[in-house]
Amino acid sequence: MVKEDNNTAFAEIYSRYSATLFTIAYNYSSQKSTAEEIVQNVFVSFWERRQIVDIDKLDAYLATACKFSVFKQIAREKRRQQLFDNFIRNTEFSVEEETAISARFLDEYINGIVEQLPTKCKLIYKLKQSEECSTKELADKFHMSPHTVRNHLHKARTFIRKSLKVVEHYKGFFF
């Protein structure tokens, strides 16, 4: 009768099998909304294909269609999750990449500030940073007292801090 577009027959099939199909779908998917959607899709597909398909056992056909729909849904969800995970990984990479670019910019900016220091002050600061020389080693190398070396380092750090505070103040304009 369903093949002959009998809506009453279709309604009877729906009322007879929808609860069973819901149970099958829910047992596989563990989600009420997913199970309801699957049952609806099975019946929509059944109605759309009613002229094409020859069915010997309606209950077996509907149960198989329901299980197949559940597995398709699970595969779709798995694929969505993979796409989401890839998106998150790429976003994290982009954040790390952006952080690296910012760090490099800041490093170059600080190097530019250091270049503005007086010659001796600049040399002492660079050696202290790059070669990690002690104050005593720097004093011996430049033939000056450790106190003078400390003064040059203090002067360099103060100048850098002040320059960075200016950048922080105008951060909204540059970054």
Q: Which CATH number fits domain 2-85: 1.10.1740.10, 2.30.42.10, 1.10.287.990, 1.25.60.10?
A: 1.10.1740.10
- pTM higher than 0.75: no
Class (C level, CATH) for 116-174 = mainly alpha
Mind listing the pLDDT tens digit for each residue in 73-132?
888 888 888 888 887 776 665 666 777 777 888 888 888 888 898 989 998 988 888 888
Confidence band (pLDDT; 50, 70, 90) for 173? very low
Residues of the chain with pLDDT > 90, as a percent, come to 11
145 close to 139: Cβ distance less than 8 angstroms: yes
| Identity of the amino acid at 16 | R
Answer yes or no: is pLDDT of 174 > 70: no
Find the range with the poorest average confidence among 5-14, 33-42, 59-68, 133-142.
5-14
* CA 64 – CA 66 distance, rounded (Å): 5
Comparing CA positions, the residue from 41, 49, 47 lying closest to residue 66 is: 41
Q: pLDDT at position 175, please?
A: 44
- Comparison of pLDDT for 175 and 62, the residue scoring more: 62
- pLDDT tens-digit series, residues 5-26: 767 777 888 888 889 888 988 8
**Domain limits, the chain:** 2-85, 116-174
Predicted pLDDT of residue 91:
65
Q: Does 167 score more than 80 pLDDT?
A: no
Task: Tell me which of 128 and 54 has the higher pLDDT.
Answer: 128
